[in-house]
Structure 1
Amino acid sequence: MATQSEKIQKLQDEIKSYKETLIKYGDMFNADGVIEEHEQKKLDQMQSIIQKVEKKLVALKEKAEKKSVNNSVNPDIEKGDKGVYKDVTKQKLNQIINVFTKGKGDATDVHWNDVSQGALGDCYFMAAIGAVAKANPAALKKLIKGPDSKGNYEVTMYIDGALFSSRKAKKVTITPEFLVDKNGNPIYAKAGDVEMWVMLLEKAYAILRKEEKYWDLRVSGLDDGYNKLKGGFGEEGIEVLTGKEASTLWIKNLSDEKIKSVITSALKDKRPITTGTIPGPDKGKKADKKQIAAQGLNIVLGHEYFVLAFDGSNITLQNPWNAEVVDGDGRGDITLSFANYKKYYRNICVQDK
């Protein structure tokens, strides 16, 4: 029996084949400069078939994402505090004053270690930010301009188009007001080193996603656009941040050599790359042996990481929670053998060459 990912791939292949055939017949019918009525009817029928298959593909993707999607939330974040929106640059406590500063232990003002996911299931987007920051930090810095005379920022993202399919730059102006808890700490994306570039990217994405109808099934109690960010895959975040196409590869369908080649090539070429873990247990059910084994290695299930390093034998990944207390606790960076990586991770999202 075909898996859901195999069914999705089959439909994608069918759509591609139908479109190629449609173009072929269109060119053939129009060879003399005139398309006859019966020829146009044939083209319309083919277009109708393509639209039906596309609708089926969208429905299947929605079902797959609702069933198993990377949306783990940092458990260290205090729950129960609904928070209030405040201008974080004007707070007396935990003041965040800059859009960029130099990161801890490095000499750059946009660094992957600035990424820290909050109480929102957008690990895929946070991981994508980290991946792009590692591969090309200058690209992220170019997305943000400001502050202007009113203290606002202009953020550019490649999000315009139906189902986010056309990668046109879209700009949004946002204020430095963020949802904070009773202590003045941001509830969603956290500040890096008293800086807010990651927070600005997350807020801009939430605003731009607010009116997107395709994702209405993925909602929470939020009503400010952040609800649309809950759950997804790194591919989406990479494309939105870079304007370049990315792909999701399923590890179980790849040979060891292919997996190693994809990761090594991406790191060498400085292309963003994220990777997601196997899903956790369904609600109300106990974890199975494989899930328990993964948790024993401090791997967060149903979660997206970004790749820091790979030597062919061991892979080092960064959890976008970025809340490590001790090395190897699973809340910061984690190093795994290739065998364990292949066993407990299910997909790779990487920017195309």
Structure 2
Amino acid sequence: MNAVLSIVCELCLTTVLAPAPMRLPDARPEKAPPFSDVVREHFKTWDQTGRGYLTAEEVHHLVRNLSVTGPAAAVIATLHHYERIHRKNLVRFSEQFLLSVNNENATQETDRKLRLFLRTRYWHYFNQIEQTPRQLFVGDAPSLDGIHQGAVGDCFVIAPIGSAVARNPEEVRRWFHPLPDGGCELVFPQRRVRVPRLSDAEIALTSSAGSQGMWLKVLETGVGLTEVRSGFERSDESGEDAVDHGGSARETYRLLTGRSFGRVDLMKTREPERIGELISQSLREGRLVGTGTDRTRRANHVPTNHDYAIIGYDAERRLVHLWNPWGNRVSTQGMPGIENGFPTEGGKFSVPLNDFVRIFRAVVYETREEARREQS
């Protein structure tokens, strides 16, 4: 074990990561009013300046507005999603244009694609708002089953959360302390953060735990707020916005555990036995372990520039068991491996140790040392 520890690199990469692919509805949900009808009803209220278009700043504030609910919140979440992807002012989204989104006969291909983008995202966000139980936990939650990373590129948040859930779901549940105003205080080993009640638009935009309740959305937002309150992002940003700027999985692990984390660079050591020993011993001792890929594609169906939780290790078969926070499904053609990918269900897949050290960039692992304390 000491030989493994001697190759730890304490430098921590900060990354900006791609969002998970969205599972978009094929048609408008039965209960959802048409996009343009919602705009017609609410635009005058949204357009506080009376200029006839919405700016990115106006949309940003509407996302956090608790009075914007249901279909209206789904439209606002859609506009916020588009602005966040393109990072430009929403001047193009005039009232006239938004009222034409239902028109499928646009003459310009770019307009047709944009209208389709807005309609399908609106349908998706409408479903998120309608189908998310408002209880913090439902049944035996939390569980990895049903988790899907949302439109925010924050696998560096969701993968460590998944690792903690896989280790001890009851411990995760104890982090949550509901408040009378509908908010929640999250109590981590070294930090406390108060998460205000989430708006419908924030519920739409954050990651989903399916029918398990609100816990993942609250936790994801809380992790983002620790960045805002540490001065890493704008002080007026929501937690959901803050994590969209990218970040470090190792910092999330430190927040959740209160422990320092080591890092092994797999590009500098490709000694499978040492890596297998590190993973095996860490998991036996109940310590969290994670991994990630860089921008170089080294295996089919294994997303690049992405963080994963390591949730198990089979020493006899030399298999590393991983979890992708996308919660995705992969069916492979031919023999599983680097060329054909690895069968995946609910984000869970297994990779032979020799392939693991070739595909992944690094391993981060919980140590016994207490992390340096941050101010709350």
TM-score (norm 1): 0.62
- Which residue of the partner structure matches residue 20 of structure 1? none
Gaps of 5+ in 1: 1-7, 13-56, 103-107, 159-167, 217-221, 281-290
- Which residue of the partner structure matches residue 250 of structure 2? 235
- Which residue of the partner structure matches residue 158 of structure 2? 126
User: 1:314 aligned to 2:319?
Assistant: yes
Q: How many Å apart are 1:237 and its aligned residue?
A: 1.2
Q: Per-residue CA shift, 1:26-72, capped at 9, x if unaligned?
A: xxxxxxxxxxxxxxxxxxxxxxxxxxxxxxx8xxx6xx53xxx2623
Q: Per-residue CA shift, 1:73-93, capped at 9, x if unaligned?
A: 102266xx97945769x9682
Deviating more after overlay: 128-137 vs 247-256: 247-256
User: 1:96 aligned to 2:111?
Assistant: no
Q: Where do residues 266-305 of structure 1 align in structure 2 (5 Å cutoff)? A: 266-280=282-296, 291=297, 293-294=298-299, 296=300, 298-305=301-308
Query: Is the 2:147–2:327 contact (alpha carbons within 8 Å) kept by the matching residues of 1?
Result: yes
C-alpha distance in 2 between matches for 1:235 and 1:177: 29
Query: Is the 1:157–1:205 contact (alpha carbons within 8 Å) kept by the matching residues of 2?
Result: no
* CA 77–71 in structure 1, closer or farther in 2 if over 3 Å, else same: farther
C-alpha distance in 1 between matches for 2:208 and 2:279: 28
- Which residue of the partner structure matches residue 210 of structure 2? 192
Q: Per-residue CA shift, 1:261-296, capped at 9, x if unaligned?
A: 11111221221111101324xxxxxxxxxx2x41x2
C-alpha distance in 2 between matches for 1:304 and 1:134: 15
Q: How many Å apart are 1:135 and its aligned residue?
A: 1.1
Of 318, 325, 328 in structure 2, the residue corresponding to residue 323 of structure 1 is 328
C-alpha distance in 2 between matches for 1:123 and 1:193: 21
C-alpha distance in 1 between matches for 2:18 and 2:345: 13
C-alpha distance in 2 between matches for 1:171 and 1:278: 31
SS at 1:279's partner residue? Answer: coil
Q: Per-residue CA shift, 1:106-137, capped at 9, x if unaligned?
A: xx322233532111111011000000111122
Query: Is the 2:150–2:206 contact (alpha carbons within 8 Å) kept by the matching residues of 1?
Result: yes
- Which residue of the partner structure matches residue 224 of structure 1? 238
Which amino acid letter does the alignment assign opposite residue 141 of structure 2?
D
* CA 233–114 in structure 1, closer or farther in 2 if over 3 Å, else same: farther
Of 177, 184, 196 in structure 2, the residue corresponding to residue 145 of structure 1 is 177
Which amino acid letter does the alignment assign opposite residue 310 of structure 1?
Y
C-alpha distance in 1 between matches for 2:292 and 2:310: 10
* CA 214–113 in structure 1, closer or farther in 2 if over 3 Å, else same: same
- Which residue of the partner structure matches residue 185 of structure 2? 154
Gaps of 5+ in 2: 1-7, 25-34, 36-58, 71-128, 333-342, 369-376
Q: How many Å apart are 1:349 and its aligned residue?
A: 1.4
- Which residue of the partner structure matches residue 204 of structure 1? 222
Query: Is the 2:225–2:242 contact (alpha carbons within 8 Å) kept by the matching residues of 1?
Result: no
C-alpha distance in 1 between matches for 2:23 and 2:198: 21
Q: How many Å apart are 1:201 and its aligned residue?
A: 0.7
* CA 94–306 in structure 1, closer or farther in 2 if over 3 Å, else same: same
- Which residue of the partner structure matches residue 248 of structure 1? 263
- Which residue of the partner structure matches residue 276 of structure 2? 260
Query: Is the 1:97–1:194 contact (alpha carbons within 8 Å) kept by the matching residues of 2?
Result: no
C-alpha distance in 2 between matches for 1:70 and 1:339: 28
User: 1:176 aligned to 2:204?
Assistant: no
Query: Is the 1:315–1:341 contact (alpha carbons within 8 Å) kept by the matching residues of 2?
Result: yes
Which amino acid letter does the alignment assign opposite residue 125 of structure 1?
V
SS at 2:292's partner residue? Answer: strand
Q: How many Å apart are 1:197 and its aligned residue?
A: 0.8
- Which residue of the partner structure matches residue 165 of structure 1? none
C-alpha distance in 1 between matches for 2:63 and 2:330: 28
Query: Is the 1:275–1:348 contact (alpha carbons within 8 Å) kept by the matching residues of 2?
Result: yes
C-alpha distance in 2 between matches for 1:265 and 1:278: 25
Q: How many Å apart are 1:100 and its aligned residue?
A: 1.0
Q: How many Å apart are 1:341 and its aligned residue?
A: 0.9
Q: How many Å apart are 1:211 and its aligned residue?
A: 3.9
User: 1:73 aligned to 2:76?
Assistant: no
* CA 74–335 in structure 1, closer or farther in 2 if over 3 Å, else same: same
C-alpha distance in 2 between matches for 1:341 and 1:262: 13
Give the aligned length: 253
SS at 1:323's partner residue? Answer: coil
Query: Is the 2:220–2:239 contact (alpha carbons within 8 Å) kept by the matching residues of 1?
Result: no
